[in-house]
Structure 1
């Protein structure tokens, strides 16, 4: 893989590409601490790991696509990677708790609900993507990305309702396209569907959702 990257981006001209590859490697190694029960990482340490791990993952994508990026593009990639990482931690909180993996979400739930931290994640998502959209010509694509990110967060709340207050869940239901009961029904029905490798199952899922 490195040989192929070097054939496209010579090291002398695209040092940032290789710096980002080293960064994601180092951050992935550091994130292994989250799986060590003896680490006892505090929220600040977990947040730092999330920023480095998530940010570097999209930063390297940006460099591999563009070679060189502007300061604005670099900042967006880091922020976007971070919000995806925390969104993923929200989505996977049950599994992380089960296997004693430490994340910002598992640490937060020790002291109450996830209401406030999820609101912060939603606000961060809107501010980051709207801010990037101001100077970007592909406004429709950026809007689609924002909506997809928000839906990811909102449905993660629905699927992990036990970690939120009842009042918060009632508010969230106003912003999702289906009722909570139907959303859970869809999740259960299609939890084993391989949408990448089974086109018929994918079409069936889309047909059922669109009919409602």
Structure 2
């Protein structure tokens, strides 16, 4: 087995090289949609929206009917296969999501919906990895604890109202706690994060699973390093920014893997490293405007408002293809997981373009729209019409919160 630090350095350099060499124009795409075809697709979408609105007006929406309709929409309108839908809408996936939400609010009833969603996104990544590795899809105490660490620590470290000195003090004390040193807590953030580490220790003995705790230290170190992104006095190069981004994303998903399996092979480390790195790059692309406004330097935000992101989105696309090749090489029989990731990456790139059109040239937007089954103007208009789906989801998790409150009282 390759020494972990050596492997991570090699993988980081490889991703940086792939990024630098990635083309700045998209490949030729054969599939194009005529206006007539787009109108047909949009008509199907509107029927689905109409159903959602009707369900949202009911006091007790039909959950099974809603899931069935959602599954049919994905199948017949977005061309998802039966196998892909089985993974997305399986009882195990839904049950595990519910367990996470309930137990998260048991741990901290004051967690906001936004914080729950933030942690739940990591849990969905975990559920996908559990399926890939042939494990039961479930929310364990340690996985819940790890996923909750990063609404707390990430948001604390990204808060511009908190001084770097205060952040560094917390980081030092939290690093000691991750290494096994117990001490009294002096702040709310320490109380919550230290308690979450307790939950992980209850499930995994430090002596038997040292790599789990090393992976937690690795993600903490990467997060602490990301404080440099808030320092506008540092003139970080594109390579420096990219390496910070890569390590933050990669170490996060590596930790997911350790908490799922306990131990990882070099092959599993490579897959998880590249996967996490790419997810972080996609996240930075989507958040380019927000990061720019907050003074957070990333490969994307630092170009605004002086440069369009056409070329850098193309690089992001090719980097995703590189990761998918790694997945296909290391796990050639996992076609379902491969196809789901390929689709989700495409949707994220599309969302990044639609949500931040001011960051792209009109020519680039028009070219991309030619290959979309929907007109972009239609998607933007209908985004608000998807609020009933969000309302139904919020209504459901509000019921979970009431269940927790009732048991506590």
User: What pairs up with 1:110-149 in 2 under 5 angstroms?
Assistant: 112-136=307-331, 137-149=333-345
From the superposition, tell whether residues 28 and 38 of structure 1 become closer, same or farther in structure 2 (CA, over 3 Å): same
Cα contact 1:46–1:103 (8 A) shared by 2:
yes
Post-superposition offset of 1:194: 5.3
Moved more, 9-18 or 182-191: 182-191
Structure 1 gaps, min length 5: 201-212
Post-superposition offset of 1:72: 1.8
Structure 2 gaps, min length 5: 1-195, 398-409
Tell me what 2:228 maps to.
33
Tell me what 1:207 maps to.
none
1: CA distance between counterparts of 2:306 and 2:248?
A: 25
Cα contact 1:43–1:107 (8 A) shared by 2:
no
Cα contact 2:267–2:330 (8 A) shared by 1:
no
User: What pairs up with 1:8-157 in 2 under 5 angstroms?
Assistant: 8-109=203-304, 112-136=307-331, 137-157=333-353
From the superposition, tell whether residues 167 and 61 of structure 1 become closer, same or farther in structure 2 (CA, over 3 Å): same
- Structure 1 or 2, whichever has the larger Rg, is 2
Tell me what 1:209 maps to.
none
Write out per-residue CA displacement over residues 85-134 of structure 1, whole angstroms, 9 at most, x where no aligned residue: 11111111121121121111012346522112111111111221232123
Cα contact 2:271–2:326 (8 A) shared by 1:
no
Moved more, 189-198 or 43-52: 189-198
**Residue correspondences, number:** 200
Length-normalised TM-score, structure 2: 0.45
Q: Structure 1 residue aligned with 2:359, among 134, 159, 163?
A: 163
2: CA distance between counterparts of 1:187 and 1:34?
A: 32
1: CA distance between counterparts of 2:392 and 2:356?
A: 23
Q: Structure 1 residue aligned with 2:394, among 171, 176, 197?
A: 197
Post-superposition offset of 1:32: 1.6
From the superposition, tell whether residues 131 and 38 of structure 1 become closer, same or farther in structure 2 (CA, over 3 Å): same
Post-superposition offset of 1:195: 6.2
Bigger RCO of structures 1 and 2 (CA < 8 A, at least 6 apart): 2
From the superposition, tell whether residues 142 and 178 of structure 1 become closer, same or farther in structure 2 (CA, over 3 Å): same
Cα contact 1:93–1:105 (8 A) shared by 2:
yes
Post-superposition offset of 1:14: 2.4
Tell me what 2:374 maps to.
178
Post-superposition offset of 1:42: 2.6
1: CA distance between counterparts of 2:249 and 2:347?
A: 19
2: CA distance between counterparts of 1:181 and 1:65?
A: 42
Cα contact 1:151–1:176 (8 A) shared by 2:
no
2: CA distance between counterparts of 1:135 and 1:179?
A: 37
Cα contact 1:155–1:176 (8 A) shared by 2:
no
Length-normalised TM-score, structure 1: 0.83
* SS, match of residue 222 in structure 2: helix
Write out per-residue CA displacement over residues 146-202 of structure 1, whole angstroms, 9 at most, x where no aligned residue: 2101210122112212111222112222344421112212334447945642359xx
1: CA distance between counterparts of 2:383 and 2:287?
A: 14
Q: CA RMSD in A?
A: 2.3
* SS, match of residue 300 in structure 2: helix
